[in-house]
Amino acid sequence: MGRANKVVLAYSGGVDTSVCIPYLKHEYGVQEVITFAADLGQGDELEPIRLKALKAGATKSLVNDLIKPFIEEFAFPAIQANALYEGKYPLSTALARPLIARRLVEIAKELGADAVAHGCTGKGNDQVRFDVAIGALAPELKVLTPAREWGMSRIEAIAYGERFGIPAPVSKSTPYSIDLNLLGRSIEAGPLEDPMVPPPEEVFTMTSSIDHAPDEYEDIEITFDYGNPISINGISLNPSSLMKEANFIAGKHGFGRLDIIENRVVGIKSREIYETPGLLLLIKAHQELESLTLAADVLKVKSQLEMQWADLVYQGLWFSPLKEAIDSFIHTTQQYVNGTVIMRLQKGNARVIGRSSSSNSLYSPDMATYGKTDQFKHVAAEGFIYIWGLPARIWASKNK
C-alpha cells in the first residue's frame, strides 16, 4: 500500500496491535503512530491500554467512549432489521467494526494522517470489514495491515516486541481468542477448533449455565417505540442502560449462548461461540411485535431483506448503497412497530407469552374470535375460494 508518514492505528492493547507500533515505524518507515482505542462497553479499564501504547512508541494515544453511538446507530438498527447472520448470529462483533472504522477515518482527517492501520490477520472477517469500510469512507487513505503481512507466529511477535521494550504477557495466555463489547462476546480458537469438543463453562461470563440459572421463570416486559426498545418492565431507560439491563436479565437465566459453524467472508468455515443475551432477546421480542403490527406482504418482503441486511453487515458492507436502500425500507416499516411484548425467561429459554399494540395492532378480536361477536363474513369465503382455486382447476382440466 505504499509508505506513510503519519498513521492512525486501531489499538486494542493486545500483543499484535502493540507490536504493530514498532513494526510500522521500523519496517514501514512511519514517522508517527497514533493509536486509537474504542470504549464499546467492554468493561475494560482503558487508561492502562492508552499508557501501554505510549510505552510501545506511539506518538499519541487516544481513547474514545463510543458506547452511545454504538447502541443507537448500530445495535438499534440491527434490532429493527431482526438481523441474524445465517439465521443464528446477532452480529455483536460485526456491528462494532464500521463504527471503529468511521472513527479511525475521522481521527486521520482531524490529525492530517495519510494512512490508517489495523492488526487483523489474513484469516478473519475483521480485515475485510475494516478495509472495505475505510475504503468506502476515505478511498484516499492508505490502509496498512502489518499483522497480515509480517508472517510471524505469536511467539515470534512477542519476541519482536521485546526488542522494542514491549513486555511479554506476564501470565499464561488463554488458548481462546475473545472479542467483547456491550452487545456480547465471541470466543474461538484453542480447544474450540474441534467442532466435537463442547465449550467448557469457563469460556462464558455473560450467561449462567443451565444448572446455575434460577429454577423459577421470570417474565420481562419490553416496550418498543418506532421499532426501538425504550423500556423494560415499565421503566424507561436510555439505550445503553437498556442493553445492560437486557444482558443482565437474559444472562441470569442462561439465555443467549450460541455454538455455531459459521461461514466466514474469506471462504472458510469456523466454529464460533457467542454470548449475546440482551441483543438476541430484544430481536426476538421485536420480531414478535412486528408480527402483530405489520401487514403480511410487508413481513414477507422484510424477512427477505433482513437476511440480505445481515449478510451485508457481516461481510463489511455497512457503508454501501444496497444497505442504505434496505435501511430506507426498514425505517419506513418501523413507524408502525409500537407496543409491548412479554417474554418468559427460564433455564436458557426465552419465549413470547404476550404482545400488544394499542395504536398499530392489526389483530382484530372481532375477526379472529369463534364466539358470538364474530364479525368475519363467512359467506364471502365461497366466492373467494372459487377465484383462488381457479388456476389450479383450469390446469387440472387440461392435464388430467
Residues assigned a catalytic role: 16, 97, 126, 177
Phi, then psi, of 255 in degrees rounded to 5 = -90, 140
224 phi-psi bin (left φ>0, alpha ψ -120 to 50, beta other): beta
CA distances from 7 to 14, 32, 118, 212, 325 (A): 18, 6, 10, 48, 33
Beta bridge partners of 308: none
CA distances from 135 to 70, 81, 98, 372 (A): 21, 25, 11, 64
Cβ–Cβ < 8 Å for 34, 47: no
Give the CA-trace dihedral at 289, 293, 296, 298, to 10 degrees. Answer: -90
CA distances from 364 to 161, 358, 367, 373, 376 (A): 67, 12, 5, 11, 10
Alpha helices (runs of H) in the chain, residue ranges in sequence order: 15-27, 46-55, 67-69, 76-80, 96-111, 126-137, 146-149, 154-163, 239-252, 277-293, 296-314, 321-333, 365-368, 380-399
Cβ–Cβ < 8 Å for 243, 183: yes
Report the C-alpha gap between 117 and 88 in whole angstroms: 31
Which residue has cell 505469536?
154
